[in-house]
Structure formats: C-alpha cells, structure tokens
Structure 1
Amino acid sequence: MTTTPPDIAIPLRDLRFHRDGADHPRWWHGGDPVPTAFFNALSCTFPAGEKFFMDSVRHYRRSVDPALQAQIGGFIAQEAVHSREHATFNKLAADSGYNIAKLESRTKRVLDFARTRAREHQLAATCALEHFTAILAQELLATDGRDFDAAPAEAARLWSWHAIEEVEHKAVAFDTFLAVTAHWSAPRRYALRVRAMILATIILMTTMGANMRDLFREDGLRGPRVWLRTMGFLFGRPGILRRVTLPWLSYFRPGFHPWQHDDRTALVRAQKRLGIEAVA
C-alpha cells in the first residue's frame, strides 16, 4: 500500500487575507453569479466543517505513533487558520448582502448530527470529506490557479493557499483512520470508509445545492436557466466537478491511499508561484 511520503511537511502559515478593506464585489468571480455562488457555498461549509475535522482527528492524537502525532498537530494548525480565513471571506459575502449565517448554520446542523455517531464513524466521514477537498485542491493547483483568473487577486491567493495546504495534509485523517482501525479486518475497514464516502457525497452535494439555491434566490435568479448554467460550470467548462470524478471514484478502490496520486510537483510549483514555501 502507498504511504505518505516522508518529505511532506505540514507547516503552519499564519497568513491573513482581505484585511486591507479593498472592494469585494457581490459577484466577485468575474461578475458571474454561478462560480461566485459555488465558491461562496463551499466556503460556507468550511468554518464548521474544519472544526469537525480537527475534533475527529484530535480525539486520536495520543493513540498513534509520534510521527503521526506531529502530522496531526500540523493538520490541526492548518485547519484552524483555514477556518479563520474563510470566516473572514464569508463575512465579505455577508457584507455584500447575502444571508451567510443561514448557510453556515445549515452545515453546523448536519455536523451536529454527525457528532452523535461513533468516533470511528466521525473519523471515516472526515477521511471522505478530506478526500473531496484534496481532489478539488489538486485540480486548482494542476491548472496553476487559472480557475481564479477572473477573480480578484486576493481571493485567488486565498483559494490557492488553501489548496496547497489541503494537498499537504490530505492523508493525515486517512493515516489516522488506518492506525486506529489496524485491529479491524480489511473488509470491515473498507465497508466503513466506503459507506462514509457515499453518505458524505450525498450530504455535501445536498448542502451545496441548497446553499447555491439560496444564494441564487437572493440574487433573483430562479428557474431552469440558472441551473443549466450551473451544470455547465460544474460538468462542462471549466467543469470543476467533472474533473474530479475519476479521483473521487479512486476512493472506492481497495488499497486506496491519498498519496497514490503524487502531486508534489504541482505543490512545489504552486508554493513558488505564491511565494509561500517558507513557514510564515
């Protein structure tokens, strides 16, 4: 089985974005409500989602070997900064007139229910959702940030930085899951992670769809036309979800590990492009 490369660092970069008071248009992504709604809807899942990820992995921090403990520490540090910066980003959307609190509460309600499940199930859900964020991040890095060519520079930098760190720590939750279920049979472990991915996919897509619907309604956009445009954005060109379909399916392969897709070259290229190789 592939394992996490030993040269992968998970540094804390205490970066801050959107603190200069610069204008942030309501339709900040090229004046287009569709990509704007997609990334706003996604960002609204991050504050509560990343807290859930941190808590589910932190629970096992003392149950794993020292090397993985150190990676968990890096994971938690990075996710805490992501949560803070996306809360700031979400406030910009709220300041432009969107009811962002409603969208953030939707994610929190879903995760509050998830917290009632067994700890191993929470960790399996984290593995599944971390795979989603990792494969989205891989696509954003693979195109050298072109998905944000129409966005303000600060927004593009925020999302690119987030993508870099999602790739850096993409295997931490998965390695933790493998460690704490090492005494399980392989079929039992496989069944849980596959079931968690199916449920996570349904819940995430349902939440994202509801979030985008609410954002469209606040912009007075209703009916099939806006959803046809949305499907074109997601599955046509640029087709962000179309591009991650095969990587998503890879999760269902027995023996899967996140680093079977080795994107260290794209990672280094993105770090140099943004000038954030060093720890801030």
Structure 2
Amino acid sequence: MATLHRTPNDMPIPVRNLRFSHDAATHPRWWHGGDPVPTAFFNALSCTFPLGEKFFMDSVRAFRGRTPEPLASQIGDFLAQEAVHSREHMAFNKAAADAGYDIAALEARIKRRLDFARTRSAEEQLAATCALEHFTAILAHALLANKGLDMNDAPEEARRLWTWHAMEEIEHKAVAFDTYLHVTRGWSALRRYRIRIRAMIVATLILYSTVGANMRDLYRADGISNRRIWGRTLKYLFVHPGSLRRIFPAYLTYFKPRFHPWQHDDRALLPAVHAQFGAATA
C-alpha cells in the first residue's frame, strides 16, 4: 500500500446525478434480508446523512473562497457529490418512514447534536467534518473491500445506493482534510493536531451514541428491544460481518500526528465500481 502525504493528482471527483428507486414492494419494513439487525443499522446510519452532509457542506463551503486551485474546484465537486448523497438518502429514509418507522424523530436527534456543533468556531466545525469524513471513508472502504457481502441480502436498489455512496466517499475523502490543512497553515503543528484529535473524540462519541440510539428506537418500534436483539447486534457489528471491527485499525490511523487520508491508498477498490456507475461526470 502506497504511503501518500497528499491527495493524488489523478483522483477525480466526478458528479453523478443518479437516482435510486425504493417502494414498498422492493423495500419492506425489514428490507435487509428480512433481518431487523442490518436493517436497523443501515436505517440508523442513513438517518444521519441528509443533515450530516449539509453540515459537512456548510463547514467546507465556508472556506472555499480562501482556497487555491485545484482545491477550490475539488471543494465544488465535493459539495455536488454530497448534495446528491443527501437527496438520495432522503428518498431512502422516506421508504423507511413509509414502512412505519418514525424517521422524523431520529432526524430530530441528529439535528439537536449538529445544532450544538454549529455553535463552535468555523475551524472547529471543519475539524469535525474531517473526523466524520474519515468515518465515512473507512466504512466505505470496508463495504467495498468486502466485495459487497455486507449488502448481499439487500434489495438491488439499496445495494446500488450504498455501493455508489461508498465509491464517492472514497473519491472525495481528503477534500475536507486538505481544506483544514490549508486553513490552519498558519497554526502550530501542535494546535492543529490538538483541535483535530479533540474533534475526532467528540465526533466518535456523538456518532456511536446517535446511531445506537436510533437503532434502539427502531427496535422499540418493532417491539424487539431486548437482550437477545442487542446480542445479535453486537455480533453483527463486531464479529460477522463485523463492519465496526474491520474499520478499527483504519480509525486509529487518524490519531497519527502526520496523518493524511490518502496514506490509506485504496484507489484499487474503485475501478470495479466505476464499471457499474461510471468514472466520468453524468
């Protein structure tokens, strides 16, 4: 694996204006193979995306006018990709709401936490975005590196949605981080590192607690929030397929003082997915 300390020059960020269809026939209440555990995990995660990605977009957009090329153009592409992600996850979340879940309450939870984040300085909000973009990138890597096995039991459109999203999270995974490096170029290395790591610790606590609380509410809605279902949840997340276990080594790399997202060079995962969705702007 190549060790990179900057974004590779040959890493385009194409904007694909794709749409995915979800209806009651193809997206039942337990859409992921009739299993409430992976269904709840992906529903809980998806509920964080529309408002979360708007927060990402706002925090990076705030500095767009102060960045040089090619970073300024990369920010534009990042914003466009994230806008499409937000739109498509709104449609995905609507399918969950149509299946009977109170998705609005779950989205209200993330709104409260993001409203608090917005009280921080613009630089701290950008650092929070860097931390959460690291999460999305390593989760994306885990999904693609597992050759789609995490989504094998999902309907075709749901599988396509999550695969496409994963591909684009890898493509733009360093944009927020490169923006942070440029914005804080006048800071001491210690101050830059301290703010970045503090943001990751807070982001980790918020993300895990939010997704966990969302899953709890989804289980309660199904009348299955008991010790057995939480045992199955822990097994699903940390044993098999164990997506949270698989991302842990990559998560820890963020704490290295000289970390950069492209030190984990996973471009080799992209050609097969590009063959499905295209590598060029649609």
TM-score normalized by the length of structure 1: 0.98
Who is 1:153 aligned against? 156
Q: How does 1:148-227 map to 2 (within 5 A)?
A: 148-227=151-230
Partner Cα distance (2:93, 2:184) in 1: 36
Encode CA deviations 1:157-188: one digit per residue, 9 max, x unaligned: 00000000000000000000000000000010
Matches within 5 A, 1:52-201: 52-201=55-204
Which digits, 9 at most, give the CA deviation of each residue in 1:30-53, with x for residues without a partner?
Answer: 110000000000000000000000
Amino acid at match of 1:74: D
State the shift of 1:279 in Å.
2.0
Contact 1:62 1:69 in 2 (8 A): yes
Deviation at 1:19?
5.8
Tell me the distance in 1 between the aligned counterparts of 2:241 and 2:201.
25
Runs of 5+ unmatched residues, structure 1: none
What is the aligned partner in structure 2 of residue 276 from structure 1? 278
Matches of 1:170 and 1:157, distance apart in 2: 20
Deviates more, 1:140-149 or 1:173-182: 140-149
Matching of residue 246 in structure 1 with residue 249 in structure 2: yes
**Residue from 13, 16, 28 that aligns with 1:10:** 13
SS in 2 for 1:244: helix
Whether 1:39 aligns to 2:42 is yes
Q: State the Cα distance separating 1:275 from its structure 2 match.
A: 3.7
TM-score of the superposition, structure 2-length normalised?
0.97
Q: Does 1:260 align with 2:268?
A: no
Identity over the aligned pairs, expressed in percent?
65
Letter paired with 1:118: S
Tell me how far apart the structure 2 counterparts of residues 276 and 89 of structure 1 sit (CA, whole Å). 22
For structure 2, which runs of at least 5 residues remain unmatched after alignment?
none
Distance 1:102 1:275 in 2: 33
Does the CA contact (< 8 Å) of 2:5 and 2:263 recur in 1?
yes
Distance 1:160 1:215 in 2: 23
Contact map agreement 2:21 2:157 (CA 8 A) in 1: yes
Deviations 1:185-239 (A, max 9, x none): 0010000100000000001101011000000000111221111100000000000
Question: CA RMSD of the aligned region, Å?
Answer: 1.1
Alpha-carbon distance in structure 1 between the residues aligned to 2:272 and 2:146: 11
- Cα deviation, 1:8-35, whole Å, max 9, x if unaligned, reads 0111100000167753111011110000
Where 2:70 maps in the other structure, the secondary structure is: helix
1:43-84 deviation line (CA, Å, top 9, x unaligned): 000000000000000000011112100000000000000000
The question of whether the paired residues in 2 share the 8 Å contact of 1:144 and 1:270 is answered with no
1:277 deviates by: 2.4
Q: Which sits farther off after the overlay, 156-165 or 1-10?
A: 1-10
Q: Which structure is richer in relative contact order (CA contacts within 8 A, separation 6 or more)?
A: 2
Partner Cα separation in structure 2 for residue 18 and residue 103 of structure 1: 22
Which amino acid in the other structure matches residue 279 of structure 2?
E
SS in 2 for 1:262: coil
Offset from partner CA, 1:93-140 (integer Å, 9 cap, x none): 000000000001111111011111100000000000000000000111
Q: Is the contact made by 2:20 and 2:157 (CA closer than 8 Å) also made in structure 1? A: yes
Q: Which runs of 4+ in 1 moved over 4 A?
A: 19-22
